[in-house]
Amino acid sequence: MLHSRKALSPEQINAQLLLYPAWELQGDVLFRAFKFDDFSAAWAFMQQVAQIAETLDHHPDWRNVYDLVEIRLSTHECNGISALDFEMIRKIELLGS
């Protein structure tokens, strides 16, 4: 399934963020930190997110320190945030369900 890589307007971004209150806009990226019980749980989560990234051909900027995973999303092709970023968020959020 293809997802638009066209930049969303600030209004569209804010409307989407209402659906994902754990995520926040930091400048021109979407950000969320995930805390796990230990490194193994954090690593397992990152492996699942990596599979999503490969499927969508959309790769996060992320950081892992022991039990913490920080994810930053933006769409380089449009120098902003696109529907693809929110599709990735939707799939990431399903991992916790």
Question: What CATH number is given to the structural domain containing 59?
Answer: 3.30.1360.20
Question: Could you tell me if 10 and 83 are in contact, meaning their C-beta atoms sit under 8 angstroms apart?
Answer: no
**pLDDT computed for residue 1 by the predictor:** 41
Domain of residue 67 covers 10-95
Residue 81: inside a domain = yes
Query: What does the block give as tokens for 9?
Result: 């307007």
**77 catalytic, yes or no?**
yes
Residue 71: inside a domain = yes
Question: Which stretches does DSSP call E strand in 2-94?
Answer: 24-26, 29-35, 61-65, 68-73
Residue 4: inside a domain = no
**pLDDT computed for residue 5 by the predictor:** 84
Residue 70: inside a domain = yes
61-65 β-sheet, strand order = 24-26, 29-35, 68-73, 61-65
Residue 33: inside a domain = yes
Catalytic entry in 24, 28, 54, 57? 54
**59 catalytic, yes or no?**
yes
**What is the number of domains present in the chain?**
1
**pLDDT computed for residue 97 by the predictor:** 52
The model carries a pTM of: 0.92
Residue 84: inside a domain = yes
Query: What is the full per-residue pLDDT of the chain (97 aa) written as tens digits?
Result: 456 889 999 999 999 999 999 999 999 999 999 999 999 999 999 999 999 999 999 999 999 999 999 999 999 888 899 999 999 999 999 997 5
